[in-house]
Structure 1
C-alpha cells in the first residue's frame, strides 16, 4: 500500500493502541511480569524487520501526525503525552511516596525519580516524531522537559519540604557521630539539582538555604559550650576537625557549590563569633602560645583565622605586641647590665687611682670600653636570635603572609631604634660588624657563619630609621680596619658592602666601596714607589717608608695639622712627593699625620726596645735626640700642636711602661670619643639632604602647601633617616632667606619656587 493509499487513523483508535505500549512500560517499571524492551529491540526500530509492537507504536505516531487536516493529531498527541505522566504520577507514584516517612520516604522518592527518568526517556523515543517536527515548528517545550516538569509540579512541589527536613535530620545525625547512608543522600540531593533542569534554584532555595541555617544553629550551640570548656588549642582542634568533616560531606553528597557557603557558616559560628574570646584566653590564647613556643598550635590558628574576614588582623596584632615586648625586654636587660658595669667600673677606679696613676687608669678605661663593647655584642646577638626566631614563625607558622611580615617589621622598628647605654642602635650595629670583621674580634666564627651573620645584620638595618648614622659609624670603623690592617678578610668586607648595597642602594655604599678600592690602588702605588726608589739612587728617604694615598671624598674627615715633622720625616715627605708628581700633576697631597704610625728603636741604658708609636708620638720622642730635657711649652712650639693634643701626647708617653723582658712595645694614645663628631657630621649632612629634597620637590611642583611639602620631603628622605618636622621647617625658612623659595602673599602656608 502506498503512502497516499494508507488508511486514516482516528484519535481514539490510535491512542488506544498507544496505551498498550505505555501500559507495558509502566508494568516493567512497577516490577510486574512483562517482556521488556531490549536494547536490540530498540535499535531494530531503525532496521528491518521491526518488532511488531514497537514498530506499530512508531508507525502509529508517525501516521497520526502526518495525516491531512483535520486528522493531524500532533497537538492532541502532545497533550496525551503529558497526560500519561500526570495519570501515572497521580495514581501510582504519589500514593507510594506519601505512605512512607523519613528515610523510607527518601528511598521511595529516589526509586520513583529513577523510574520516572526511564519512563521519560522511553516515551520520548516513542513520540520522537513530535520532538523533531511538531515541537520544533511550534517552539513548544521538548518532550523530555515536559516529562520532568510533570514530576516537579506533582511530586517535588508537594514533598520537597518533607524531603529537605528528612535530609537535614540525617546530616545532623551524622554530625553527632551516627552512621548514615551517604549514597542515599547523594541520590536525593541529585533530585534537587536535576529537577532544576540546568538551574540551581531548587537546590539552593528548597534545600540549601535551610541546610545552611540548620548548620549555623548546630555549630552555634556547639561553640557556646566549647568556648567555656576548652582551652584555645583544644577548641581549634575541634574547629579544624569540624571544617574537615563538612568538606567531606560536600565531596560525598552535597553539591560542590555548597562548599564555600557551608564552610563560611561553620567558620562564622566557631571562629568569627568567638574570635576575641578565643585569642585572648588567659592561659591558652595567642599570647600564651607565642610565649610557650607552641608552633603547631600557632600554625593551626593561622590556618583557621586566615579563612574568616579580617581574621588575621587580631592575630598579627598580638604577634606584634609579643615581639615588641620581647625586644623591649632585651633593651632593658642590656641597659641594666650596662648600668651595673658602670657602677663597678667607677668603684674600681676609686680604689686604684692612688696606686696606678694615669697609665693604669687609661688601662681601666680601655677595659671598661671592652666590657661595654662585649655587652653590646651580646645585645646585638640576642636581637639577631630574636629576629631569627620570629622570622621563622612568619615563614612557617604564618605561611610567609605579608600581614605578619609587616607586624614583625613594626615591632622591631619600635625597640631597634631605642639604643642601649647611650649608644644608638646604628652605632651598636656598626660596632657589631666591626667586631666580626676585624682581626682579633670577640666574635670567633667560621667563614660561613660570618656570611650568615652579616646577612642578618643587614636585615636588622632595615628596621633602623637612622641608616645614615649607621653608614657614618660603619665608615669610620671600616677606615680604621683598612688603614691599620685590622681587617680579617677582604672577601667579607666586600660581601657586606654588596649586601648593604642591595638593601639600601648604591648611594649608601659608594664611599665605602671607594675606600676598599683605594686600598687596592694604594698597594699597587706602594709597589711603584719601591721600584722608583730602587731605580733612583738619589731618591733615598733614609728610612723604610710606606704611604697610603686616599681619595678625599671617600674617607671620613680627619684633622690635618701643620705638624712640624722631624728632619728625618721631612725628607720622606719630599721624596714621596717627587715620586707622586711623576704619576700625576693634577692631584694635591694633604698629609694626615694623625693616622700615621712609626717603629722607633729606643736605645736605653739596660737594653734596646722597639717602640710602636703614632707619628705625633714619634715626632715628640725624636726631639729628645738633640735634647735631654724640654719644657712643655718648648715641645708645643717645636711640634706646632694644640694644647689638647700635646697633653694627650705627653700623658701617653709619660705613663708608658713595660715588663723588663719586653723588647717590643706599643704605646697607644688615650682613646678619643669620636661619637660626638660622627653625630655632628651626620647632622650637617642631613641639613644638606633636607635642603636638596625641598628644592627638588619645589622645582618640580612650583607651588606647594607647607603640609604637603613636609610630607613629600619625609617620604623622599625616609630611606636614609627620619627627618624631624622642626628641622624641615627650619630648612624651609633658611631657603626662603637664600631666595630659593618665597611665601605666597595671600597664604603664608603656601610656598613658591624661585628659579
Structure 2
C-alpha cells in the first residue's frame, strides 16, 4: 500500500498524496478516519506548527506525536496530525538558517544546515526510543515463562508496527540525511526503522534474552512431552530473533547471527540433552524395534517443528543434533538387531532401520556386509537342498532354486532399502558367489551353473516342452538372463548353448522362431555382437540350406520319375566354422544302407556341380530317419523316428529276422559304443529280443514280431549316455582351447599398442579385457605369455618386462 510522499512547492506550500496507513503487521489497529483517499496539493498553514528553525519546539511537537504512535496508535491517528508531523520533519530538515560560525561557501549551498539539523532530530528520536524501551524492559521483569512470551510478542508486534509508521513519517530524513551519512561511511547511522530495531536489541532484547530463551525452551519441552502449547508465541519470538540480525554495513540486508547465537545454539544443546535422557530411559524398558518406531516418530516431530515455528535454516542442525543422539549413539544396538529382522523377514522394520541408519555416516556399512553374507548363505542352502541325493541335477529345479533366492532378496532390497546402489552391489556379490560356487558346482565341476542354465534354456525353447506355459515364456527367458548376469564363465554357457541350439535347429525342435530370436537378442544386448556372431550365422545357414534343398527337389522332380524318388530325402548344408559338430569317429567306415545311398549320391552330385571347390562331410550322428514298420501283427503298422545307426540296424531285418552281434557290427560298421547304445534302446523297448541277458558280443538278436504298443508314433532317437559324456568332454575341451586363443589375442593386442610393458601391468590389463567372458587365473595368463614368447610374438626386455616383436 502507498506511503506518504511530500513535495515542496512555491510559496512554501506543502501537498500530500495517498496518505494511507501501512498494513503489513499482524495485529489490527483502529483505522485512520480519512474522508478522502487522496489529498492533492492541500495547503497546510503554519498555524500551530513550530518554526522550521525551532529545534526545541519542533521536537516537542514531534515527541507528542511519536509518543501517541508508540503507545496509543490503536486509538487512531488523524490525517491532519500525520501530515503535520511529516511537514515539521520536512521543514526542520530543509530550513537554511545557519550558525554564525559557518563560512559563506557552506551557507550558499544550504547542505550543511540540513546536515546539522537532521543529526539533531535523529539524536532526539534515538533518545526517546531508549527511554521508551527502558520502560518496557522494566515492566518485563514481572513476567516469566509463558506470561513473558505473551508480553514479549505483544510488545514486539506493537513496537515494530509503530516503528514502520514512524519510518514513513521520517521518510525525508531517511532519504536525504541518513543516506548522505551512510554514503560518507558513517555506518552507525541507520534509517528510522532500523534504528528502532537496533534500539530494541540493545536496550530490551539484550536485557531479557536470558529469561526469554529459558521460557522458549521450556515451552518447546512441554510440547515434546505431549502438552498442547500456543506455537504462535514461539513463532513470533523466533521472527524477532531473525529480524534483529542486522547487517551494520547494509541496513537492507539481514543475517542470522542473533538467531543462531541467542536461540539456535541453546535450542540445539537442550535438544541433545532431552533426547539423550529419553533414549536411555526408553531403550532400557522397550525392544529395539519399539525404539526405532519411537525415533521415527520423534524425527517426524522435529521436522514438523521446523515448519511450525523455526527458521528453515535450523532444520539441518536440528536433525543432526537429534540423529546424533537418537541414532548415531545407538547405531551399534540397531545394527545388531538387523540379522534377527532379516531372518524373520520383518520388512517394515528393516525399512525403518534403513531409513534411520541412512541418516548417519557409516550407519549402513555393517548392514550391507551382513546382507551379502545372509544372501550368499541362503543361496548355498537352497542349492544344497535341491542337489542333495541327486546324481543328475534337473536344470529347471536348479535354476528355479537360484531364481527363488534372487527374486526374494531383490524384492527386499527394492522395498526395504529403496534400491540403494550399495545394497544392490551387496546382493549382486552374494548372487555371484552362490551361482558360481555352490554344492552342485563342487560335485559336478566348476562349470555346472553355465551348463545347467544352457540346458534349462534349451528346455524352454524346445518344441513340446512342458516347463512353462506359452504366455509365460518371456518371463522365464528373462529369468534365464537374470542368472546369466551372475555367471562368471559366460564362454561355457555360450559353448553349451550353441550345441543345444544346433540340435534344435538341425532336428527342427525349436518351439518358436520368435522366441529363439528374442533370446539371441537378449544375449547380444548382454555381451555384444561378437558373443552371438556364430549363433546368428547358424540361423543364416538354416535359411540358405532350405533354399538349397528346395532347388534340389525341384531339379530332381524335373529329371527323375516319381518311382525313382522312393524316399523323402532332406539334407542340411551347414558351414563348418559356425556349427559345433565334429565328424563321428565311425563316420568314415560307416556302411550306408543301400535304401538311401542313391539319394545321398544324387545330392552329392548336385551340390558338387553347383559349388565347385566345396567338400561335403556327412555327420551321421546328427542324422535321423522315419521308418514305416510293418513286421508286427498290427495292421496299421508303426511310424518310428530313429537315428542313422538305428535305421541301418532295422533295415537289416528286411532280409532276416535274426542276426548275431558280430553280423550286425560287420554289416553296418558302426562303432561299438553307438552300436551297443542303439541295440540297448531296441531291447528296452522290446523291438528286439536277445538270447543273453546283457547282450553284446556273442549274443543273437531277433526281431520281436509280437511287438505291441498303444502309440503308433515312437521316437527311438534318444541320446546315449556315452555320447552325452563325450559331448560334454568335447565342449569343455573346446572351451579351454577358445580361452587360450582369447588370452593370446588379448595379450597381443595389448602389447601391440603398448610396445613395452611390465609383467604385472600386462596381467592386470589382460584380466580387464577378458573378464566379461570368464575370469582367467594368473597362472593361465603366464602360460599364454610363454606360448607367445615361443611363437616370437613377445620377447623379454629385462626383469619382469616384455616387449612386442613386430
Q: What's the counterpart of residue 456 of structure 1?
A: 479
Q: What's the counterpart of residue 177 of structure 2?
A: 134
Q: Separation in 1 of the partners of 2:610 and 2:97?
A: 119
Q: 1:670 aligns with which of 707, 712, 720?
A: 720
Q: What's the counterpart of residue 214 of structure 1?
A: 270
Determine if contact 1:542/1:568 at 8 Å carries over to the other structure. no
Determine if contact 1:186/1:254 at 8 Å carries over to the other structure. yes
Q: Separation in 2 of the partners of 1:669 and 1:328?
A: 31
Which whole-Å deviations, capped at 9, do the CAs of 1:650-690 have from their partners, x for residues lacking one?
A: 55566662472246654446332122221111111000111
Q: Unpaired runs of 5+ in structure 1?
A: 46-52, 343-371
Q: What's the counterpart of residue 186 of structure 1?
A: 235
Determine if contact 2:62/2:85 at 8 Å carries over to the other structure. no
Which whole-Å deviations, capped at 9, do the CAs of 1:708-736 have from their partners, x for residues lacking one?
A: 21111111111111111111111111111
Change (3 A) 1:657 1:168: same
Alignment of 1:420-569 (within 5 A): 420=440, 421-422=443-444, 424-443=448-467, 445-537=468-560, 540=564, 542-560=566-584, 561-562=587-588, 563-569=590-596
Q: Does 2:617 match 1:590? A: yes
Change (3 A) 1:549 1:373: farther
Q: What's the counterpart of residue 105 of structure 2?
A: none
Q: Does 2:400 match 1:389? A: no
Q: Which has the higher helix share?
A: 1
Moved more, 572-581 or 609-618: 609-618
Moved more, 2-11 or 479-488: 2-11
Which whole-Å deviations, capped at 9, do the CAs of 1:206-229 have from their partners, x for residues lacking one?
A: 111111111112112222233333
Determine if contact 1:227/1:274 at 8 Å carries over to the other structure. no
Change (3 A) 1:669 1:196: closer
Determine if contact 1:9/1:63 at 8 Å carries over to the other structure. no
Determine if contact 2:796/2:802 at 8 Å carries over to the other structure. yes
Q: Separation in 2 of the partners of 1:136 and 1:17?
A: 25
Moved more, 454-463 or 607-616: 607-616
Q: What's the counterpart of residue 751 of structure 1?
A: 802
Which whole-Å deviations, capped at 9, do the CAs of 1:619-660 have from their partners, x for residues lacking one?
A: 355466678887767766665555544554555566662472
Q: What's the counterpart of residue 353 of structure 1?
A: none
Determine if contact 2:403/2:483 at 8 Å carries over to the other structure. yes
Ranked by relative contact order (alpha carbons within 8 Å, sequence separation 6 or more), the top structure is 1
Q: Separation in 2 of the partners of 1:173 and 1:602?
A: 98
Q: Separation in 1 of the partners of 2:362 and 2:499?
A: 47
Change (3 A) 1:669 1:116: closer
Determine if contact 1:743/1:752 at 8 Å carries over to the other structure. yes
The DSSP-based 3-state class of the residue aligned with 2:592 is coil
Q: 2:294 aligns with which of 238, 241, 256?
A: 238
Moved more, 481-490 or 20-29: 20-29
Q: Separation in 2 of the partners of 1:93 and 1:582?
A: 119
Q: What's the counterpart of residue 684 of structure 1?
A: 737
Q: Does 2:356 match 1:304? A: yes
Q: 2:303 aligns with which of 247, 251, 266?
A: 247
Q: What's the counterpart of residue 20 of structure 1?
A: 64
How far did 1:11 drift? 2.8
Determine if contact 1:649/1:669 at 8 Å carries over to the other structure. no
Q: Separation in 2 of the partners of 1:485 and 1:537?
A: 28
Q: Separation in 2 of the partners of 1:41 and 1:393?
A: 76
The DSSP-based 3-state class of the residue aligned with 1:694 is helix
Moved more, 499-508 or 197-206: 499-508
Q: What's the counterpart of residue 76 of structure 2?
A: 36
Q: Does 2:357 match 1:272? A: no
Determine if contact 1:74/1:130 at 8 Å carries over to the other structure. yes
Q: Separation in 1 of the partners of 2:542 and 2:52?
A: 117
Q: What's the counterpart of residue 660 of structure 1?
A: 707
Change (3 A) 1:650 1:336: closer
The DSSP-based 3-state class of the residue aligned with 1:274 is helix
Q: Separation in 2 of the partners of 1:625 and 1:63?
A: 137
How far did 1:609 drift? 6.0
Task: Give TM-score scaled by structure 1 length.
Answer: 0.86
How far did 1:416 drift? 0.4
Moved more, 118-127 or 672-681: 118-127
Change (3 A) 1:610 1:256: closer
How far did 1:548 drift? 1.4
Paired residues, what number?
Answer: 700
Q: What's the counterpart of residue 644 of structure 2?
A: 615
How far did 1:127 drift? 2.6
How far did 1:272 drift? 1.7
How far did 1:415 drift? 0.5
RMSD between aligned alpha carbons? 2.9
Q: Separation in 2 of the partners of 1:212 and 1:583?
A: 92
Change (3 A) 1:60 1:573: same
How far did 1:693 drift? 0.9
Q: What's the counterpart of residue 326 of structure 1?
A: 378
Q: Does 2:206 match 1:157? A: yes
Determine if contact 1:541/1:575 at 8 Å carries over to the other structure. no
Which whole-Å deviations, capped at 9, do the CAs of 1:101-139 have from their partners, x for residues lacking one?
A: 112112222222223213322333333222121222221
Moved more, 154-163 or 450-459: 154-163
Q: Separation in 2 of the partners of 1:184 and 1:669?
A: 88
Q: Unpaired runs of 5+ in structure 2?
A: 1-9, 14-45, 101-112, 183-188, 247-253, 688-705
Alignment of 1:674-753 (within 5 A): 674-745=727-798, 748-753=799-804
